[in-house]
């Protein structure tokens, strides 16, 4: 009765091929240049006939013509003072 864990590869030739492949992949990963991930912006076109989950009158949609203020809207003097 065999004892221990069974062999992963049936022959030494298959084990050698797997080792060569593993070493090659490790080498390619090590020598590959590290670059930033490409971010692809996807914005689907929504037409008026497409039903939405939220009511359009709630103004929850974001569009490109909404301006974002650079300065904060609240006044610094109206904040409670820290003690």
Give pLDDT tens digits along the chain (83 positions). 678 998 899 999 999 999 999 999 999 988 887 777 777 777 667 666 665 566 656 655 555 566 656 665 566 566 666 65
Q: Assign 63 to helix, strand or coil.
A: coil
Question: Using an 8 Å Cβ cutoff, are 9 and 18 in contact?
Answer: yes
Query: Closest by alpha carbon to 63, among 79, 39, 49, 46?
Result: 46
**Which residue spans within 1-83 are E strands per DSSP?**
none
Surface-to-core class of residue 37, CB atoms within 10 Å of its CB (0-12 exposed, 13-18 middle, 19+ buried): exposed
Q: Is the pTM of this model over 0.95?
A: no
């Amino acid at each position: 009765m065999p004892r221990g864990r069974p062999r992963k590869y049936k022959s030494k030739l298959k084990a050698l091929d797997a080792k060569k492949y593993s070493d090659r992949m490790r080498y390619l990963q090590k020598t590959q240049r590290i670059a930033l991930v490409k971010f692809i912006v996807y914005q689907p076109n929504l037409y008026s006939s497409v039903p939405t989950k939220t009511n359009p009158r709630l103004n929850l949609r974001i569009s490109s013509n909404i301006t974002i203020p650079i300065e904060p809207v609240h006044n610094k003097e109206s904040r409670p003072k820290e003690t």
